[in-house]
Structure 1
């Protein structure tokens, strides 16, 4: 999906980011060591080092993570909910128990009333992308 230019005057539906920004505080010595590794060409930049370190650390816990994901019945990756899907659930009298490890996204055109009528509980380990109104309507159901 592409975004229209501002000069064209149209606004395209924004593509969800494939990552979430985090902020960390580090000691000066640790940061200096990272900068030294970057300067020596081991990593392209600080972010490259940090992402690599996190991935390597997660890999050491891979088996434990797989077991917990299976035990908690989490969807791994991206789970997206459109207004049409939620309308169909409401018409069928069904409600969702959303469990995601990754990104759960609810379309911007989903009303707070529709979300409240169709989403029983929501557990997201990662990020939840939804309008502020939908998040407010689900506040008591988000775990």
Structure 2
């Protein structure tokens, strides 16, 4: 099994999402912010998400094991992919967190070595590599 690295959310290590919230719920959030329970709306939403993840942590852990997901940060270098190609193997990548493919990986090398890629979180790769793998990203 590959190394597992735990990620901490830092400003540059986050993914932006859009959430539609009803006016009354938004008003409740703004009230809690105004009363000092949270520093801003984002602080409230992040706290709510973390609380839900904690509530469901056992189910998450079981699903990670059941689906054989790598947890955290997984980086694929050109050297690693060249080694995989030389061995005549193909990778089935499954990551919960952040998967990165090095900038010096060519689209051809990616197609020759990556059979499928599933990322629950974020995938960072060059646009040409993402395009080359588009039919393999699930």
Partner of 1:76: 71
Between structure 1 and structure 2, the one with the greater Rg is 1
- Could you list the runs of 5+ residues in structure 1 that have no partner in the other structure? 1-15
| Equivalent residue in structure 2 for 1:17, among 12, 16, 31 | 12
Partner of 2:37: 42
CA RMSD of aligned residues (A): 1.3
| Equivalent residue in structure 2 for 1:120, among 95, 115, 119 | 115
TM normalised by structure 1 equals 0.85
Aligned length: 128
| Equivalent residue in structure 1 for 2:89, among 90, 94, 99 | 94
Q: Deviations over 1:68-127 (max 9, x none)?
A: 100000011111111111112112222211000111111111110000011111011111
Q: Distance in 2 between matches of 1:67 and 1:17?
A: 29
Which runs of at least 4 in structure 1 moved beyond 4 Å after TM superposition?
A: none
- 1:103 and 2:110 are equivalent in the alignment: no
Instruction: Tell me by how many angstroms 1:46 deviates.
Output: 0.7
